[in-house]
Amino acid sequence: MKGVKMRRLRIIQTVLLIVWCLSIFAGNSWGQVKPDELAKIEQAVPAKATVQSAKPRKLLVFNLCNGFKHSSIPYWDKALEIMGAKSGVYSVVVSSDMAMFKPENLNQFDAVCLNNTTRLQFDESLRKSLMDFVKGGKGIVGIHAATDNFYEWPEAAEMMGGQFAGHPWGGGGTWAIKIDEPNHPLMAAFKGKGFKIQDEIYRTKPPLYSRTKQRVLMSLDMSDGPTRSAEGVTPEDMDTGISWVKSYDKGRIFYCALGHDHAVTWNPAVLQHFLDGIQFVFGDYKVDTKPKPLVISGKGSEMDELFAKIKTYDWGQSRAPLSEVSELIRKAHTSPEQLKQMEKNLLEALVVADATDAGKQFVCRELSIIGTEQSVPALGAMLTDEKMSDMARYALERIPGAAVDEALRNALGKTSGKTKVGIINSLGQRRDSKAVSALGGLVGDSDQMVAGAALGALGQIADAQATKVLADAKGKVTGKLQLVALDAYLKCADKLVAEGEKDQALAIYKELYKENQPKPIRTAALRGIVSLTKKEEK
C-alpha cells in the first residue's frame, strides 16, 4: 500500500513540476531579469566597499548546473556584476564553461564565485587546478546551492564546509536567523540583530560542517517555533549554519546559504554581507577565521545558550532542545574534559531558582549517566526536599563513589516518611555496608513503611553485619513486616551460598524451614536445603 501511494505521489509531483515549469516559461522567460527587478537590485547594491582593494579585482561568476537549476541564478549574475561595478572593487566574467577552470584560464581571477552551481564534475587536472588556485592564496565565494556539489570529490566538500542533504526549510517559508558573531566585521551589515527572511535553507551535513573547522557567523535560530518545527527537522539539524568563513591553506572560503528566492538579490543587508565576504576572499578584507567550537565556557557562548533552554523547558513543549543537549552529551562521551564541562553546565541549570521542574528532571536523567563527585553537593542538598528528593536520587543512585553513599546516609536522619523510604532504598540498591548500623536502627521504626524499607535494604546489602541484624530482627517484627524480614534473611542465605559459605547458609535455611514459618518461606528454605544437599551428594 505504501508503494502505490508513493508512486501516485511521484506522478502528481512530476505533473505539478511540469505545470510549474510551463508557467515560468509562459510568464517569464528563464534567464531574464525583469526591468523593475533590475531597478530594485541597482537600488539595493552597496554604494561603496567597506575596505580599499589592493588592486582592481576580477571575479569568475560560474553558474553551470548539472543538477537543479535555480531560477535565481541570472539574478545573482546581475547583482554581482552591478555590485562590482558600483563599488569599483571588481569586474566579473560570467561563465558556465568548465574550461574556465583550466590553470591558464583560472589564474586571471582573484576568486571564483559558485553561483548556485550543482553537481559540477571536475576531472583530475581541473581538480588540481582549483585546489592550487585556492591553496595558493586565492579563494571561493559560495552562494546557496554551492554546497550541492563535490559528491565524488570529498576533499572539495570538506573545503566548502558543508554539503546539501535536503532542505526542511522550503523557499516559500519565512525562517529565523540568529547572529552568532555580532561583532565580526563580515556581519556589520546586519547591525547585530537577528532577522527573519523568506528563503530556502539547506541542511549542512556534519561532520563536513563543523564549528571546529570553520568560523560560523550566523545560523538558524531554533528558538523560533516555525523554524524549529519545519517538516522533517531532526535533532541533528539544531545547529544549521547560514554563513561561514574558512582559511584553507593560504586561501579563503566564504559561503552564505541565502539566495534561492529572487528577492534576496535585492536585500541590501544580504548584498552588503556578500560584498564584504567577497572582499575577504580577495584577501583585501582581513578578518578572523579562527573556528569557535560549540563547547567552550563563558557567558554568551553557544553552549550556555543551549543549556539555558533547559531551565525554561516545560511539559507539553517540544522535546527538541533537550534532544539537542542529549546529542551533545552523547558526542562528548570520549572526552572526559568535555563531559566535565557538560556536567558543570547541567548543574548550573539545576540549581537556578526559577528553573522548571521539567528542566531539573531532565538534568537529573542526564546526570544519572554522566555524573561524578562534582554533582554530589548540589544533588545531596536536594535529598531532604520532599519534592526534589526522587529526582536527586534518580541522578545519585547510579553515580559511583563513596561521596554519594555519604550524602545519602547524611540525609537519612534528616528526612521522614516516603522521602526517607526513598533514601533507604537507594542505600540498599548501592549495597552500602556503612549504612547497616543506621538501617538496623530503623527496623523497629513506628512508620511501617520505613521499617519495611530498612529490612529490604538490609537484604540487598546482605553482608555479615546485615545478616546478624536480620537474624535478630525477624523474630521481633510482626504482621506484614515478618515476610519482608524473612525474605531479606533468605537473600542473605543465598548470598552465603554464592560466596561458598555452605554451612552458614544451610543453618539459615534449616532455621527457616521450621513449622511455624510462613509457607512461601518454608518453600524457599526447602529449595535451598535441597540444592545444597544435592551438591554434596556429587
Partner 1 sequence: MTNKTISRRRFLKTVSGASIAAAGFPYFVPACALGQARTTGRAAPSGRIVIGCIGVGGQGTSNMNAFMNNPDTQVVAVCDVERGRAAYRGSTFGREPAKQLVEKYYANQKGSGTYKGCAAYSDFRELLARKDIDAVSVCTPDHWHGLISIAAARAGKDIYCEKPLANTVFEGRVIADTVKRYGRILQTGTHERSNDSVRFACELVRNGRIGKLQTISINLPCDEPHHAEIIKNAGPQPEMPVAEGFDYDFWLGPTPDEPYTERRCHFWWRFILHYGGGEMTDRGADIIDIAQLGNGTDSSGPVEITAKGKRLPKGLYDVFMEYEFEFKYANGVQMVGKSEGTRGLKFEGDKGWIFIHIHGGRLEAEPESLLKEVIGPNELHLGRSPGHQRNWLDCVKSRSEPIAPAEVGHRTGTICHLTNIALLTEKPIKWDPKAERVTNNTEADMMLTRPMRNPWYL
Choose among 433, 430, 436, 434: nearest CA to 455. Answer: 436
Q: What is the largest CA-CA distance in the chain?
A: 106
Q: What is the residue-wise DSSP string for 38-67?
A: HHHHHHHS-SS-SS--SS-EEEEEE--BSS
Task: Give the separation between CA 308 and CA 319, rounded to whole angstroms.
Answer: 14
CA angle 241, 244, 247 (to 5 degrees): 140
Choose among 255, 302, 273, 265: nearest CA to 187. Answer: 273
Which of 63, 118, 389, 467 is in the footprint of partner 1 by CB under 8 A?
Answer: 389
Q: Looking at beta carbons only, is 86 or 205 nearer to partner 1?
A: 205
Q: Looking at beta carbons only, is 471 or 529 nearer to partner 1?
A: 529
Which of 249, 449, 472, 535 is in the footprint of partner 1 by CB under 8 A?
Answer: 449
Report the site for partner 1 in 341-370 (rule: CB under 8 A).
358, 361, 365, 368-370
Ramachandran angles phi, psi of 60, nearest 5°: -85, 115
Q: How far is the CB of 392 from partner 1 (least distance, A)?
A: 10
Q: Looking at beta carbons only, is 390 or 463 nearer to partner 1?
A: 390
Q: Looking at beta carbons only, is 32 or 229 nearer to partner 1?
A: 229
Q: How far is the CB of 383 from partner 1 (least distance, A)?
A: 11
Q: How far is the CB of 136 from partner 1 (least distance, A)?
A: 40
Beta strand pairing call for 111-115 and 139-143: parallel
Q: Looking at beta carbons only, is 365 or 468 nearer to partner 1?
A: 365
155: left (phi over 0), alpha (psi -120 to 50) or beta: alpha
> Could you tell me how many residues of this chain bind partner 1 (CB under 8 A)?
55
Q: Does 240 bind partner 1 (CB under 8 A)?
A: no
Q: Looking at beta carbons only, is 116 or 227 nearer to partner 1?
A: 227
Q: Looking at beta carbons only, is 84 or 359 nearer to partner 1?
A: 359
Contacts of 181 (CB under 8 A, 6+ apart): 187, 215, 216, 217, 218, 292
Q: How far is the CB of 408 from partner 1 (least distance, A)?
A: 12
Q: What is the residue-wise DSSP string for 373-437?
A: GGGHHHHHHHTT-TTTHHHHHHHHTT--SHHHHHHHHHHHTT--HHHHHHHHHHHHHTT-GGGHH
Which of 128, 286, 319, 535 is in the footprint of partner 1 by CB under 8 A?
Answer: 319
Q: How far is the CB of 414 from partner 1 (least distance, A)?
A: 15
Other C-beta atoms closer than 10 Å to the C-beta of 127 total 15
Q: Does 456 bind partner 1 (CB under 8 A)?
A: yes
Q: How far is the CB of 339 from partner 1 (least distance, A)?
A: 10
| Interacting residues with partner 1 (CB under 8 A) | 2, 229, 233-235, 315-320, 323, 330, 333, 358, 361, 365, 368-370, 389-391, 393-394, 397-398, 418-419, 421-422, 425-426, 428-429, 449, 453, 456-457, 483, 487, 490-491, 494, 519-520, 522-524, 526-528, 530-531, 534
